[in-house]
Amino acid sequence: MAEPVLTLDTLEPVRSFITIDKKRYELRDADELTLTQTAHIHRLAQEISNAGKPEAQVTEEEAKRFEDFANEMLAIVVIGLPDEMRDKLTIRKKYQIVSAFNALASQKWSTEVGEGSSKTSDGSSQGSADSTGVPSASG
């Protein structure tokens, strides 16, 4: 019997979590993010990495902008984090949370990509001419 090509679940995911002052806050699963949220996170991360300045050279305006970026990212990835709690966090702690989310998302996405590139029973790659029987464009 053939194995499914794709298996999807619509159940509530088991979420990773962080604790702040002994209170638990769940992180969104990467699969829960909308396309808009994912694109927004990537844009914010790109803005931050483009700065590339040593901390001593960051202006007050840039520091405020980075803080705003971090707050936007936390609003997307941390479920139920009150503004008052978020505002107590230093910028370093905010980036630790964002980094933890990014590490989990990267791990999940790379695992899924790795699973998707599995070999077929004849040892060929899924979708290749060898596995589908369709001749390649080159002959």
Task: Flag whether 120 is in a domain.
Answer: no
User: How far are the Cα atoms of 34, 37, 52, 67, 126 from residue 47, in angstroms, in the given order?
Assistant: 20, 15, 10, 12, 37
Tell me the C-alpha distance between 46 and 120, whole Å.
Answer: 37
Task: Flag whether 36 is in a domain.
Answer: yes
Task: Flag whether 82 is in a domain.
Answer: yes
Q: What angle do CA 50, 52, 55 make, to 5 degrees?
A: 135
* Per-residue model confidence as pLDDT tens for the chain (139 residues): 899 898 887 888 889 999 999 999 999 998 889 999 989 888 887 877 776 667 678 888 888 888 898 999 999 999 999 999 999 999 899 989 988 998 998 888 777 666 554 444 444 444 444 444 444 444 4
Q: Cα(first)–Cα(last) distance of the chain, in Å?
A: 31
When divided into structural domains, the chain yields a total of 1
pTM beyond cutoff 0.85: no
Provide the residue range defining the domain that includes 104.
30-50+60-110
Task: Flag whether 73 is in a domain.
Answer: yes
Task: Flag whether 23 is in a domain.
Answer: no
Tell me the C-alpha distance between 63 and 59, whole Å.
Answer: 6
